[in-house]
Chains A and B, each alone.
Chain A
Amino acid sequence: MPAKSILATIVAFVFATGVAAEAPQPVTLDPIEHTDAQLVIIAADGTAQTYTPATLEALPTYRVRTTTPWRDEPVDFDGVLLSDLLEANGLHLTDEINVIAENDFSTTIPRALWDTVPVLVATRVDGRAHTRRERGPIQFIIDKGSYTASPVVSERHLVWMAARIKVE
C-alpha cells in the first residue's frame, strides 16, 4: 500500500471519529449573472476543460456556512465540490493537483485533502455572484471546523481567484 494511501486512511479515520465538521449541504441554485471568470482544468495529457462559474454550477451544488481567515462573520458559500469536479474530469484518483490563481499564485493540493475534507469550489456568497474583491469569482472554501481539525489543510489551500487546475 502506498504511503500516501496509508496517510489518507489515517486522516479519514481521524476525521470520521474526532472531527465534528459541518458537511456541505446540497443546494439548488437559481441562475444568476456571474462575474466574468474561467477555471481551466488541464489534464496530464494536456487536454483542457474550461469552466465558467455558471458551467461549474451544472455539477451538484452545495452550500457551506463558515468564516474564513479573511471574514470575521460567517457567510453562505455556494458552489461545487472539488472532488466532484475532479471526478467529472477523471482526475479524482490523481495524487495531487496544482491550482493557479489569476494573480499567478500557485499551490499544490494533495489527494488526501479532497478525499477527507469537503472542499467547496465556491461561485456565490450569500446567494450573490462571487466578486474578485471578495476573493472570487471562484474560491476554494473549507468550513472552519474541518479547516481547524485537519492536519492536511493549510491557508494556502484556500485559493482565491482560482484560474487553473493542472495535473502533472
Chain B
Amino acid sequence: MQATSRTQGTVERISALFLRRRTVVACIIAILMTCFVAGYYVQVTVTNLRSTHQSLNDRQLRNGYIAISDLHRLVLIIQEAAVRGKMSDEAVADFRAASDFLFVRMDTFRRIQSRGDFLKEADDAIAALRRAQAVADDAIANDFRDLDADAAALIEHTQIAREALVIYLDRMRQLQDNLLFGQTAAVENQRTVVWVILLGLSVLGIAATTLLRKEVMAKQARQAAEERVRHLAFFDPLTGLPNRVQFQDRLSELLAQKTALALLLVDLDGFKQINDTYGHAAGDDILRHVAAALGPYRTPDGGFAARLGGDEFAVVCISEDIPLLSQICDDVIAAIADPIVFEGEAVGVEASIGLATKTQIGRQVAHTVDGLTRVADFALYASKSNGKRQFTIYDEVLEHQFLERRAMVEELPQAIADGSLDYYLQPKVDMTTEEVFGFEALARWRRNGVIVPPSAFIGIAEESGLIADIDCSILSNATRDIANFNLCHGTSFSISVNFSTLHFSSLKFVETVKHALLASGLQPDLLTIEITETAEMQDWGKAKQVVSAIHDLGAKVSIDDFGAGFSSLAYLRTTVADEIKIDRSLVQDIETSDTSRFLLDAVLDIARNLGLDATVEGIETRRQADIVLEMGARKAQGYFFSRPMPRDDALAAAMTTDQPLLQRPAS
C-alpha cells in the first residue's frame, strides 16, 4: 500500500513537472539538439566512408594483383628463354603478348586510378610498371640480343614493380580495413543514435501517455462528479426517487400542462419508533421499501413518485378519477404495510395519505405547487388525526377547515399584538382552608366576538410556531397582573402558566421566564410553570436542564394533566418537578368506581412519596371534592369551585369571603 502510494506520488510529481511549459520546451530543445548532434555525427561518418570508398574499389585491388601476375608471366618467359639460351619464335610471340598485357594493365591501372583520389602508392606502382614495361619493350626492340642482360634487367625492374605493387596493395588493404572499420563504426553510431532517439521518444511517449491518462481520468472523475452532483441535486440518494427540488419543478410543469392532476402525500406512521427500535439502518430499509412500493406510479404521461424528505413521500398522478385514485391510495397503503425482513425480524410500517386534485382546489387556494401541497398536507393531517393508515380526500368540508385554519394562522399574530388573545384565570383552591391560593392562566382568543377555546387554536399555534409568542405573552401579562394585584391588595396569589414542552428544548426559554419575573416584580415562588405534556418531547436531558434553571430562578415547575399523557412516569424520573396536576380523567369516576378511587389514591401516594405537591384537576361535584379531601389531597381545581373567568372577575371572586368555597355551587 505504501509502495503504491509512493509510486503514485512519484507519478504525480513527474506529471506536475511535465505540465510546466518550461519543462516541455526544455525537453523539446534537448531532443532537437540530440537529433542534430547525432545527425551531424552520422553525416561526418558517412562523408568519411564515401571518401574512403572513392579511394578503394575492388577493381583497384584486382588490377594490382593481375599486374603482379602479368609481371610474373613476362619474367617467366624470359627466364625460361635464358635457361635455354635462346628466345624461340613462340617465346618471342608469348613475350610480346605478355608485354602487351602489361601495357594494357598499366593503362587500365592508370585510368582507374585517375577516377579516384590521388594515391602516391598507386603512382609509384604505375611508374615502376612503366619502367618494367620499357625494359621489356627494349628487349623486344633489340631482338633479345643480350638475353641474359635483358633477363637480368627485366627481373630487377619487375622486382621493383612487384614491391611497389605490394606496397600499393598493402595501402589498399589498409584502406579496406579503414572502410570496414568506418562502416562498423557508422553502424554502431547509428545504433547509438537510434537508441538515444528511441529512449527519448519512449520517455516522451511514457510522459505523454501518463499525462493523457491522468487527463482522461481527471476528466472522467470530473464527469462522474458532475453527474453525481446533478443526480444529487434532483434525486434522493437513499431511495433513488426524485427529491423535493425535482418534485416542485415537475409538478409546476404538470400544473401548467395538465387539466387533471392529483397529488398524494404519503407520510409514514410510527417511522420514528422504527428508527428508535431497530436503528437507522432499518429505517433506511423501510424508506427504500416505500420507494419500491411507489416506484410503479411513474407513468409515461408524467406521473411520478418523489421523496420530499424524512418519511414524507409524494405521488403525482395524471388523473382525477376519484375511484381510481382511491384504489391507488389503498394499494399504496397495502404495499407499504407489507413488512420487510431486517436482520431476521419482520419490520412493518404503515402510511397515511392525503389526496388532493387540481380541480378540487377552490378559488381561495392558489393553483400552485405550494397551494396543492398545502391542501394535500391538510388532508394528510386529517388522515393522521382520524387514526392513521388511511387516506383522506381533500373536499369541500376539508377545504372549509383548511381555510379556517389558514385564517387563524394569519390572524394569530395580530391577536397576540392587539390583546384579543388574552387569558382567563381559574382558581386553585386549598380545600383544607377553603381559600383560593392561586390561579391557572388559560389562553382565550376573542375572535370576531366569540371566545375560541385553546383546543381550537393551540395545535395550530404549535404547528405554525406561534405558540412561543402566545405562551410568552400570557406569561408576561399574567405575572404582571398578579404581581400588581398582590401588591395592591396585600395578597399572595400564585399564578400558573402553561407551556408546551416544545419550549423545553432551549435554555432561551429560561431567559424569558427570568425577564417576566423581573419585569413584573412577582415573587418567584408564586410562579409555577406547567409543562403541557406531549409525545414530541425529544431531548429529556435538555428539558431537565431547563427545569433546573427555572428552579434556580426560584420559580416552580408543575406537570400538567398527569396520568393522561404519554409518559408521565418518565417525567417523574427525569424532571425535578415541584407539583403534579392530576388529570381530570382520574377523577371523573371516583364517585362510582372503586378502581378510579384506587388509581387516584395510588397517584396521590406516589406524589407524597416523591415529596411533590399534588393538585387534583377536574373537581366538578361536592362529592368528588369530599372524596379527594378524604384521600389526603389538599389542593384542587375544577368547575365545582370555579370555571375559568376573565381576569378581573376571577380576582374579584377570590376576594369574596361571604361563602366558603366547599359550599359554593359550581359557577
Contact = CB atoms under 8 A, between A and B. Distances in A.
B108 interface: yes
A69 B111 contact: yes
A102 B97 contact: yes
B100 to A, nearest CB: 3
Given A103-B66, A103-B70, A160-B104, A132 B97 contact: yes
Contacts of A30: none
Nearest to B96: A132
Contacts of B100: 131-133
Nearest to A36: B93
A36 B103 CA distance: 18
A31 to B, nearest CB: 22
B485 interface: no
A70 B108 contact: yes
B101 interface: yes
Interface residues of A, number: 13
Contacts of A41: none
Interface string A129-168: 0011101000000000000000000000000110000000
A133 B103 contact: yes
Contacts of B321: none
A163 B93 CA distance: 16
B226 interface: no
Contact of A161 (B69, B101, B111): B101
Contacts of A103: 66, 69-70, 101, 105
Interface string A31-54: 000001000000000000000000
Interface string A15-26: 000000000000
A133 B111 CA distance: 14
Given A69-B111, A103-B66, A133 B104 contact: yes
Contacts of A161: 101, 104
A135 B70 CA distance: 15
Nearest to A156: B59
Interface string A89-108: 00000000000001111000
Given A36-B93, A103-B66, A103-B70, A132 B101 contact: yes
Contacts of B370: none
Contacts of B69: 103-104
Given A36-B93, A102-B97, A103-B70, A135 B111 contact: no
Contacts of B552: none
Candidate in B101, B108, B111 with the most chain A CB atoms within 10 angstroms: B101
Candidate in A36, A102, A131, A133 with the most chain B CB atoms within 10 angstroms: A133
B107 interface: yes
Interface footprint category on B: 10 to 19
Contacts of B105: 103
Contacts of A70: 107-108, 111
Contacts of B108: 70
A102 B105 CA distance: 13
A119 B114 CA distance: 27
Contacts of A160: 104
Contacts of A104: 69
Interface in A72-131: 102-105, 131
Contacts of A131: 100
Contacts of A133: 100, 103-104
Interface string B74-95: 0000000000000000000100
B63 to A, nearest CB: 11
B59 to A, nearest CB: 8
Candidate in B70, B93, B97 with the most chain A CB atoms within 10 angstroms: B97
Interface of B is mostly: helix
Contacts of B111: 69-70
Contacts of B103: 132-133
Nearest to A72: B111
A131 B93 CA distance: 13
A135 B101 contact: no
B58 to A, nearest CB: 11
B534 to A, nearest CB: 111
B471 to A, nearest CB: 116
A103 B106 CA distance: 14
Interface string B19-47: 00000000000000000000000000000
Given A69-B111, A70-B111, A103-B70, A135 B93 contact: no
Nearest to B98: A103
A102 B66 CA distance: 13
Nearest to B66: A103
A103 B108 CA distance: 14
A15 to B, nearest CB: 26
Contacts of A36: 93
Nearest to A37: B97
Nearest to B59: A155
Given A36-B93, A69-B111, A70-B111, A102 B104 contact: no
A102 B101 contact: yes
Contacts of B101: 102-103, 132, 161
A142 to B, nearest CB: 17
Contacts of B97: 102, 132
A148 to B, nearest CB: 16
Interface string B496-521: 00000000000000000000000000
A160 B93 CA distance: 18
A139 B424 CA distance: 151
Interface string B91-135: 001000100110111011001000000000000000000000000
Contacts of A135: 104
Contacts of B107: 70
A132 B103 CA distance: 9
Nearest to A69: B111
Contacts of B70: 103
Candidate in B70, B103, B105 with the most chain A CB atoms within 10 angstroms: B103
Contacts of B104: 132-133, 135, 160-161
Candidate in B66, B104, B105, B108 with the most chain A CB atoms within 10 angstroms: B104
A161 B93 CA distance: 15
A33 to B, nearest CB: 16
Nearest to A71: B111
A137 B97 CA distance: 11
B357 to A, nearest CB: 95
Nearest to A70: B111
A157 to B, nearest CB: 14
A39 to B, nearest CB: 15
A102 B102 CA distance: 12
A54 to B, nearest CB: 18
A96 to B, nearest CB: 22
A88 to B, nearest CB: 27
A132 B106 CA distance: 13
A136 to B, nearest CB: 9
B107 to A, nearest CB: 7
A3 B100 CA distance: 41
Given A36-B93, A132-B97, A133-B100, 4 more contacts: A69-B111, A105-B66, A161-B101, A161-B104
7 closest Cβ pairs, A-B complex: A132-B100, A103-B101, A133-B103, A133-B100, A70-B111, A135-B104, A133-B104
26 contacts: A36-B93, A69-B111, A70-B107, A70-B108, A70-B111, A102-B101, A103-B66, A103-B69, A103-B70, A103-B101, A103-B105, A104-B69, A105-B66, A131-B100, A132-B97, A132-B100, A132-B101, A132-B103, A132-B104, A133-B100, A133-B103, A133-B104, A135-B104, A160-B104, A161-B101, A161-B104
